[in-house]
């Protein structure tokens, strides 16, 4: 990281977190973040979900909710960017303050509440030309919707032609009742209806489901069974957590979802259980606590073909993607892997015949 970048991050950290986030997006749009021109180690190349990617590291949903900085994030070196969550109608979300740093824990707590500009505004931004890269869309439901299950399909039908994959988000803790949609019957309805829209309108778009890290083992089993039966392409593990175990930061008692380093073990545990249950039949995306190449490697060995960053970017800036990619390549080569996909699920216990 250059001196200018370090000074810029230090200045942002002295501001209100949400204001700082907005300024970071403005800096990206203004071209103040250097482009990554490579080279990227060949060991990192793969084709998860059928996408030809130079490496597996992307930006998680929530960082660029309104698709304001897609091209600059791709230019900074991320293989893919997931925008959103986007709802059919614009909504302001919860009152401010609603984003809190916990620097002692390298974490954050947010209670945004699906604040976004709505699908029509995002449509205009996603229609802008860009230089390659994979773009995903996090699908949300309006807080006051009379048909939340149908909202996902509405957003997908409108924005699906502009993206490569879409993620059904039923796991944010900041919209009352939303996580209830992870229960088996509700989830079956959401996925069947959204899949029907996908198949009718944008059949080439990959469809994923993002789940919470706070599910019991039995609930994770239910999610895996429903996902496999539904025909979706993958699972994103995980969203933020309601747990506050072991936190030191002054903001630890704030309501909302916790992200960052303290989420790493919990989210990776859920990821590993999903990987063991789905046995390679679904593509898994690991998100939650990734702040280093070692973290990304742990997610991959637990079953993830792709990993995403969010909170770590607030502490280390978008240049972190280069460090993670380089460190991940060294770890793969150290352990004798010639391709990244050989390491996917390496830590999952294998059953033996008989």
Catalytic-residue membership of 172: yes
Answer whether 289's CB lies under 8 Å from 260's CB: yes
Q: Strand 234-237 to strand 206-211: parallel, antiparallel, or no bridges (unpaired)?
A: parallel
User: Which of 79, 172, 259, 267 is an active site residue?
Assistant: 172
**HSE toward the beta carbon, residue 23, CA cutoff 13 A:** 14
Answer whether 330's CB lies under 8 Å from 311's CB: no
Cβ neighbour number for residue 54 with a 10 Å cutoff: 17
Enumerate residues 6+ apart whose C-beta is below 8 A from 178: 141, 148, 170, 171, 172
Give rounded-to-5 percent helix, strand, coil for the chain.
40, 15, 40
Which runs of consecutive H residues, i.e. helices, occur in the chain? 3-13, 17-29, 70-75, 119-126, 148-159, 184-201, 217-230, 264-278, 293-301, 311-316, 320-334
DSSP-derived 3-state class of residue 307: strand
CA atoms of 51 and 58, how far apart (whole Å): 13
State the maximum Cα–Cα separation within the chain, in Å, rounded to a whole number: 61
Q: What residues are annotated to the active site?
A: 172
């Amino acid at each position: 990281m250059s001196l200018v970048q370090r000074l810029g991050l230090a200045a942002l950290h002295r501001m209100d977190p949400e204001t700082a986030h907005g300024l970071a997006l403005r800096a990206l749009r203004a071209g103040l973040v250097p482009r990554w021109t490579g080279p990227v180690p060949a060991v990192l190349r793969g084709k998860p979900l059928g996408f030809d990617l130079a490496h597996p590291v992307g930006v998680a949903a929530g960082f660029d909710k309104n698709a304001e900085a897609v091209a600059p994030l791709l230019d900074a070196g991320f293989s893919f960017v997931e925008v959103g969550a986007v709802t059919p109608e614009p909504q302001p979300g919860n009152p401010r303050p609603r984003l809190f740093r916990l620097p002692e824990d390298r974490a954050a707590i947010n209670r945004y509440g699906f604040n976004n500009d709505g699908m029509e505004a995002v449509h205009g931004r996603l229609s802008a030309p860009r230089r390659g890269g994979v773009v995903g869309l996090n699908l949300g439901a309006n807080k006051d919707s009379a048909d939340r299950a149908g909202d996902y399909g509405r957003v997908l039908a409108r924005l699906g032609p502009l993206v490569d994959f879409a993620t059904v988000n039923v796991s944010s803790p900041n919209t009352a009742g939303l996580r209830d949609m992870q229960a088996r019957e509700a989830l079956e309805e959401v996925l069947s209806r959204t899949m029907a829209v996908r198949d009718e309108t944008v059949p080439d778009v990959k469809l994923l489901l993002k789940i919470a890290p706070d599910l019991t083992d039995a609930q994770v089993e239910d999610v895996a069974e429903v996902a496999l039966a539904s025909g979706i392409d993958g699972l994103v593990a995980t969203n933020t957590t309601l747990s506050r175990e072991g936190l030191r930061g002054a903001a630890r008692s704030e309501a909302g979802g916790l992200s960052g380093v303290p989420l790493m073990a919990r989210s990776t545990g859920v990821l590993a259980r999903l990987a063991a249950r789905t046995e390679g039949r679904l593509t898994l995306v690991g998100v939650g606590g990734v702040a280093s190449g070692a973290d990304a490697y742990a997610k991959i060995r637990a079953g993830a073909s792709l990993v995403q960053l969010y909170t770590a970017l607030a502490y280390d800036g978008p240049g972190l993607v280069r460090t993670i990619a380089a460190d991940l390549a060294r770890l793969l080569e150290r352990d004798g892997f010639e391709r990244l996909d050989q390491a996917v699920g390496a830590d999952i216990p294998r059953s033996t015949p008989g």
